[in-house]
Structure formats: structure tokens, C-alpha cells
Structure 1
Amino acid sequence: MRVTETDQTESTGAGEPENISLQAVVTPPKRGRKQAAAHAEVANKGKNPKPADTKTDTVLKKLRLARGITIEGLIEATGWQPHSVRGFLSGTVKKKLGLPLVSEIGKDGVRRYRLDSKAKAD
């Protein structure tokens, strides 16, 4: 914050000022571009009520499909490696979340994973 002093004089016309007063003028500090951008982000923070889906949300939505989804489909949806998808299914979905994960091989010979609402979690 800067304080600037200004001289205000009133003259009676005799050459000498009659009243000299010093008045403080306060000016706000200048913001840099980074500070202004950060301030704008904080101001807009509450305007997006729906956050983007996480990869966990994406996987769970795919598993809730009636036909289920293959490992390859989950790899494409998340960008994870095959071992990461399998680890997520067994570690997070089955153990941590306790959801009933069903693995079935269809007539086409492709293994599909789905969440079974009728089955009870192990």
C-alpha cells in the first residue's frame, strides 16, 4: 500500500498561501498477472457445481452395464495397464468397496466383468 501526500493551498491573492493541509491518499497495490489470475480462479471456484468424473467413477459405471465390460474396454476407458485394471477390480472393487463383482466368459469366449445386484459380496 502506498501513501502519497498532496499539498492543497488556498490563496488570498497576497502571494502567501493561507491554509496548507496535507492529505493522505491511499492507493491499492498493483497486482501482477499471476496474482490477478489466481484471484480470478478463487472467485470462480464455486461456479462449477458438477465435478468431472474420476476414473473410479468411470470404471464403476462401465461395470454396472447389463452386459458388463471386458478388460480391454476398461483399459481404453482409463488408460491403465492390464495389470492395473485387474488389481483395481480385485483390490478396490471387491475388497475395499465390497461390491459383488462377477466374472463370466460368454459364448464368444470373451471374459466380461460386471457388478451383480443379486449376488452378495464375498
Structure 2
Amino acid sequence: MRVADTDQGESTGIVEPENLSSQAVATPRRRVRKVPAAGAVVANKSKNSKPAETKTEMVLKKLRLAKGTTLEGLIEATGWQAHSVRGFLSGTVKKKLGLSLLSEVGKDGVRRYRLDNKAKAV
């Protein structure tokens, strides 16, 4: 028995592709620049504003104190781990900046770091 009215594509599961040339192609949307509303306050981006203090500046300021600072003080100020602070002191302060760094243990057993303004680093 043979069925004459069946479509070959339906019986075999093969579907022919539709003609795509007659379909509309979507165009990309344009980005619209946001304009602040009238009377809105816009942040001033002047070149005269002083940038925030860097971590290097914070560390150097603490090292210049007469008493100096402890490792824990530098960790709190920078948020770095102990090995990072010691690496910064050795690599940046001593080697790159060429500053003389003193490390002294006080009577309380706490090590303090400070810059020696009298001597020059070798």
C-alpha cells in the first residue's frame, strides 16, 4: 500500500530550509548618550584636585616618625600581609628609593622600623 498524498519531508523527518532572503534582518541598536537632567549636580572633574594618598606615601610617613612604626602598624595602614610589608621595606624603601631603614627591637620585644635621616643607604 502506498500513500500518494504524504509529503516526503514529513515522512523522513527532513525539513527543507526556508528562504531567508525575504526575511528582514535586525539592525543593531544605537547607544544613546545619557544627558544629565536640568539642574542635576555633576561631579567636578577638575585637574586641580589632589589625588588620594597612596600606600607608599602612607608607609613612608609612618617610617619618618621619630619612634618609627611596627610591622602591625604597617599591616593595618596598608591592608597588606606581613610578608608583603617586609618585601616592600626591603625592595622598595631600601633598594629602589635608596633610603636608610633602621630595624630595632625595643625593651618590650617589639621590632620597630624607621628611616635614618643621618646616614645614607649603601
Taking structure 2 as the reference length, the TM-score comes to: 0.65
CA distance in 2, matches of 1:87, 1:31: 46
Unaligned 5+ segments in structure 2 are 1-31, 37-41
* Letter of the 1:109 counterpart: G
* Cα deviation 1:42-98 (Å, max 9, x = unaligned): xx2216522110000000000000000010000000000000000000000000000
Aligned to 1:114: 114
RMSD of aligned C-alpha atoms?
A: 2.0
Q: Which is higher, the Rg of structure 1 or of structure 2?
A: 2
Please identify which structure carries the higher helix content: 1
How many residues get paired?
Answer: 87
CA distance in 1, matches of 2:99, 2:45: 34
1:49 to 1:117, Cα distance in 2 relative to 1, 3 A:
same
Aligned to 2:83: 83
Structure 1's consecutive aligned runs of 4 or more residues displaced over 4 angstroms after TM superposition are none
CA distance in 2, matches of 1:103, 1:32: 55
3-state SS of paired residue (2:104)? strand
* Cα deviation 1:3-34 (Å, max 9, x = unaligned): xxxxxxxxxxxxxxxxxxxxxxxxxxx7425x
3-state SS of paired residue (1:46)? coil
3-state SS of paired residue (1:45)? coil
3-state SS of paired residue (2:120)? coil
The alpha-carbon deviation at position 117 of structure 1 amounts to 0.4
Please identify which structure carries the higher strand content: 1
3-state SS of paired residue (1:120)? coil
Taking structure 1 as the reference length, the TM-score comes to: 0.65
